[in-house]
Amino acid sequence: MNAKAQKAKGCGIEPAYYDAVTQAIRSEAVKVLKEGAVSAVIGYLPGRRKSAAVPAVVTTEEEAGRLIFSPACVNNLSLYLTKAKKGILPGGKIGIVAKGCDLRALAGLMGESQIKRDDLFIIGINCAGVQGAVAAGNGQLTEASIAKKCRECTAHTPEGVDFVAGTLPHLDGLTPLEAEELARIEAMPQAERWAYWKEQFSRCIRCMACRQVCPFCYCEQCLCDKNRPQAVESSPRPAGNTAWHIVRAMHLAGRCAGCAECERSCPMDIPLNLLNRRMAQELKELYDYEASMAPQEKGPLNQYKEDDDQSFIK
Amino acid sequence: MPQIITEANLRSLIDSLVKESKLVVGPKEAGSMVLYQPLSNGADLKLGALPRRSSKELFFPICEDILTFGKEDGVTKVKDVDRASFPDAVLIGALPCDAGSPSILDAVFSWDYNDDFYLERRKKSTIVGIACTSCDDACFCTAVGYAPDSPAGSDLFLTPLKDGSYACNAVTEKGEKLVSAHGSLFKEGAAADAAPLAAPDTAKLDLAKIKEWLNTHFEDPLWQSIADVCLGCGACAFICPACHCFDINDEGTPDHGTRRKHWDACGFGKFTNHASGHNPRDIQNKRYRNRIMHKFKYYDDKFGKTLCTGCGRCIRACPVGIDIGDILNKINVQAG
């Protein structure tokens, strides 16, 4: 294989980039643990499989020295700071490794008063991208394996963090896939679009991975788990599946940070992030709101302004 | 002399079975993945990839109606599902890690209570298993006593040959019947060399030792360390060939509705939530422990079998990379 072909295969991102980010994370994590600045660091450890990484809460310098950043570091770790994972963290300030997309979730959670900036030491990553589905192989990022969200990333460089790990390499522009797909679906006649989503939701097995992996699905009582009375059918059938996915998308409108973890986690490959993006588009048009790395005190759907658009009230 | 079937005849076999009004289920392309689905003809069969979900749903559907109820003249009448109408079925192209699961599940579905829905489907099904020729780094069938060429659970077992045909080994009477009823599609003859089998890169586990360790480690820091990252979703259980927990829900209105049985998962926080509000598995630690205990201790205690075929689906699907193969290896090492 010639050098040019190799570069194309690897998306132009050299493994040395990930090694450098890994080294930077390790030394900073070890330092803040040693100084006692944090009681734990939430980061990634290598999995048994070459193409896998696992989220981890490390509390010792030794463990911190094993932290990694690789294309397999897909998880949005902000989830581990939420109520959904309460009780797993020691008290005191917590260090957390965050990609740009994860930072938006951290900002959103701050805006919803779920976490406080002062309680965190954020190790931001100059992020070149991560893989989509975890696949077998050597773990190297290719144009075929890079996550769809990374193809259209606008958050490569972290903002408002305590430490920045790595230097962003030159990134070859990748064509957007998700935006095109969204436009294709948007252009469908309504009946066809409805048929498209019915087909997608028909595959849902109600494993709830999309809910459990979402940093914003921290409700202690989910409407969809209620059975007295039952609000959404819990059996995996078309009616309940459709209701669940619409409830999910609506409840995340104006809150979703766009990390696309729901879609990545779906074992049935339902393109859930298309719904999130559609909602985000709506929020942008109606309220000029978009998820950002800076915490905003109140999301647009959590407040009322007299000049809010009311044209939908008929 | 073994019986041989060519690939073309295997597809013709499916066509014939469909014509006989049998429900034929096999690996079929479904968008971005392969799933075990009803085949409408031989061309639908897609061999060579592990379907995303296991084949257990042929016997134990994701969701099924178990009765309907409705008010007539002020009296609630209940109508049973006619199980006699379940079709005769042939599961074709099930890999050993899937073909092996019904014979594990038979024990629990015919234990103190006979699950007539499962058993009726099971009785009416013939399983045509196929040796496995490709694997990835999540596969660990050989670690838990299965193998890429294990005919366990199959009625008829196919071994892919280098010339593209299949050697057929009738394991049970059902398998023999399937061959004799379609004799013209099979021929006796010398088999070509077998195609190379999959070779999972995994060491054999000492399941007896693992069970011994589990006997004495109900409380262990291991469970919390997994629970720290586990999200409590049901992805691992739902795509598992051996997980078989289900919930029963009445859906509809008090006047008219359906009682449904559908998959449930011990990872869910509400799985053991009692009507009183008490939840004996109130934290993820206890829930994940149950997953391992059930598979490698409780099921063995009760039925003498391990509730895992090493398909690796849970490893591939876990959103946070929890790797049961890795956990079992660690327990195996600790158990000495």
Q: Which residue has the tokens 């915490």?
A: A295
Cis peptide before A55 (omega within 30 of 0): no
**Which residue out of B33, B320, B322 would a mutagenesis test of the A interface target, given it has the greatest number of A Cβ atoms within 10 Å?**
B320
The gap from C-alpha B172 to its chain's centroid, in whole angstroms, comes to 19
In a domain, A218, yes or no: yes
Verify that A185 and A278 share a domain, yes or no: yes
The three-state DSSP-derived secondary structure of A157-179 is CCCCCCEEECCCCCCCCCCCCHH
Instruction: Identify the three-state secondary structure at position A244.
Output: helix
What is the pLDDT averaged over residues B129-139? Answer: 96
The three-state DSSP-derived secondary structure of B50-117 is CCCCCHHHHCCCCEEEEEEEEEECCEEEEEECCHHHCCCEEEEEECHHHHCHHHHHHHHHECCCECHH
CA nearest neighbour of A133 among B319, B267, B328: B319
Q: Which residues does chain A have within 8 Å of residue B237's beta carbon, measured at their own beta carbons?
A: 207
CA nearest neighbour of B103 among B157, B143, B140: B157
pLDDT digits (tens, 9 = 90+) for B298-323: 999 999 999 999 999 999 999 999 99
pLDDT digits (tens, 9 = 90+) for B85-118: 999 999 999 999 999 999 999 999 999 999 999 9
Q: Range of A96's domain?
A: 13-165
Tokens of A230: 């039952």
Which pLDDT does position B150 carry in this prediction? 96
CB-closest option in A54, A208, A213 to B234: A208
Strand B156-160 with B166-170, pairing: antiparallel
In a domain, A160, yes or no: yes
Verify that A149 and A264 share a domain, yes or no: no
What 8-state DSSP symbol labels residue B294?
Answer: I
Please state, in angstroms and rounded to a whole number, the distance separating the CA atoms of residues A76 and A155: 14
Please state, in angstroms and rounded to a whole number, the distance separating the CA atoms of residues A154 and A152: 6
pLDDT digits (tens, 9 = 90+) for A217-232: 999 889 898 877 888 9
Query: Does B233 contact A205 at a Cβ distance shorter than 8 Å?
Result: no
How many CB atoms within 10 Å of residue B295?
Answer: 21
Q: Which residues does chain A have within 8 Å of residue B30's beta carbon, measured at their own beta carbons?
A: 203
In a domain, B197, yes or no: no
What is the distance between the terminal CA atoms of chain B, rounded to a whole angstrom? 46
Verify that B142 and B23 share a domain, yes or no: yes
All residues at 6 or more sequence positions from B225 whose CB lies less than 8 Å from its CB, including other chains: none
Please state, in angstroms and rounded to a whole number, the distance separating the CA atoms of residues A48 and A69: 15
Q: How far is A131 from chain B (nearest CA, A)?
A: 13
In a domain, B111, yes or no: yes
Residue pair A95/A135 in contact by the 8 Å Cβ criterion: no
pTM: 0.94
Verify that B53 and B7 share a domain, yes or no: yes
Instruction: Identify the three-state secondary structure at position A200.
Output: helix
CA nearest neighbour of B302 among B157, B111, B74: B111
Tokens of B56: 């257990």
Is the predicted pLDDT of residue B75 greater than 60, yes or no?
yes
In a domain, A143, yes or no: yes
Instruction: Return the residue of A nearest to B330 by Cα.
Output: A48
Which pLDDT does position A2 carry in this prediction? 41
CA nearest neighbour of A99 among A142, A130, A131: A130
Which pLDDT does position A311 carry in this prediction? 84
CB-closest option in B138, B239, B320 to A267: B239
In a domain, B202, yes or no: no
In a domain, B298, yes or no: yes
Q: Range of B165's domain?
A: 3-188
Question: What is A18-65 written as a DSSP string?
Answer: HHHHHHHHHHHHHHHHHHTS-SEEEEEEE-SSTT-EEEEEE-SHHHHT
Domain count for chain B, please give it.
2
Q: Which residues of B227-254 are buried (b: 16+ CB within 10 A; e: fewer)?
A: bbbbbbbbbbbbbbbbbbebbebebbee
pLDDT, chain B, mean: 95
Which pLDDT does position A17 carry in this prediction? 95
Verify that B20 and B160 share a domain, yes or no: yes
Tokens of A300: 């647009």
Residue pair B132/B198 in contact by the 8 Å Cβ criterion: yes
Which pLDDT does position A134 carry in this prediction? 55
Verify that B41 and B105 share a domain, yes or no: yes
Verify that B158 and B298 share a domain, yes or no: no
CB-closest option in B136, B251, B320 to A75: B320
Verify that B231 and B129 share a domain, yes or no: no
Query: Does A235 contact B63 at a Cβ distance shorter than 8 Å?
Result: yes
In a domain, B195, yes or no: no
Verify that A257 and A236 share a domain, yes or no: yes
Q: Which residues of A164-188 are buried (b: 16+ CB within 10 A; e: fewer)?
A: bbbeebeeeebeeebeeebeeeeee
Residue B188: exposure state from Cβ atoms within 10 A (0-12, 13-18, ≥19): exposed
Verify that B176 and B212 share a domain, yes or no: no
Residue pair A210/A273 in contact by the 8 Å Cβ criterion: no
Angle between the N-to-C axes of helices A272-287 and A178-186, in degrees from 0 to 180, rounded to the nearest 10:
80
What is the pLDDT averaged over residues B185-210? Answer: 92
- Interface residues on B facing A, Cβ-Cβ cutoff 8 A: 30-33, 52-53, 62-63, 136-138, 227-229, 231-235, 237-239, 247, 249, 251, 260, 262-263, 265, 268, 270, 283, 315-317, 319-323, 325-326, 329
Verify that A38 and A60 share a domain, yes or no: yes
For chain B, how big is the Rg over CA atoms in Å? 21
Q: Which residues does chain B have within 8 Å of residue A88's beta carbon, measured at their own beta carbons?
A: 227-228
Residue pair B271/B281 in contact by the 8 Å Cβ criterion: yes
In a domain, A310, yes or no: no
Residue pair B42/B229 in contact by the 8 Å Cβ criterion: no
The gap from C-alpha B95 to its chain's centroid, in whole angstroms, comes to 10
Handedness of CA B208, B213, B216, B217 (dihedral sign): negative
Q: Which residues does chain A have within 8 Å of residue B329's beta carbon, measured at their own beta carbons?
A: 48
Strand B125-130 with B156-160, pairing: parallel
CA nearest neighbour of B26 among B5, B13, B45: B45
Residue pair A62/A159 in contact by the 8 Å Cβ criterion: no
Residue pair A114/A166 in contact by the 8 Å Cβ criterion: no
Verify that B142 and B242 share a domain, yes or no: no
Verify that B322 and B212 share a domain, yes or no: yes
Residue pair B167/B159 in contact by the 8 Å Cβ criterion: yes
pLDDT level of residue B1 (50, 70, 90 thresholds): low
Verify that A70 and A109 share a domain, yes or no: yes
Is the predicted pLDDT of residue B164 greater than 70, yes or no?
yes
Verify that B15 and B44 share a domain, yes or no: yes
Query: Does A208 contact B268 at a Cβ distance shorter than 8 Å?
Result: yes
Strand A120-125 with B33-38, pairing: unpaired
Chosen domain end from A165, A189, A213: A165
- Those residues of chain A that have pLDDT short of 50 are 1-9, 136
The three-state DSSP-derived secondary structure of B169-235 is EECCHHHHHHHHHCHHHCEECCCCCECCCCCCCCCCCCHHHHHHHHHCCCCCHHHHHHHCCCCCCCH
In chain A, where does DSSP find H-type helix? 3-9, 15-35, 61-64, 100-111, 148-151, 178-186, 190-202, 209-212, 238-252, 261-265, 272-287
Backbone angles phi, psi at A192, to 5 degrees: -70, -40
Chosen domain end from A165, A190, A222: A165
Q: What is the ipTM of this complex?
A: 0.94
Domain count for chain A, please give it.
2
pLDDT digits (tens, 9 = 90+) for B274-289: 989 899 999 999 999 9
Which pLDDT does position A159 carry in this prediction? 94
Instruction: Return the residue of A nearest to B266 by Cα.
Output: A207
Verify that A161 and A200 share a domain, yes or no: no
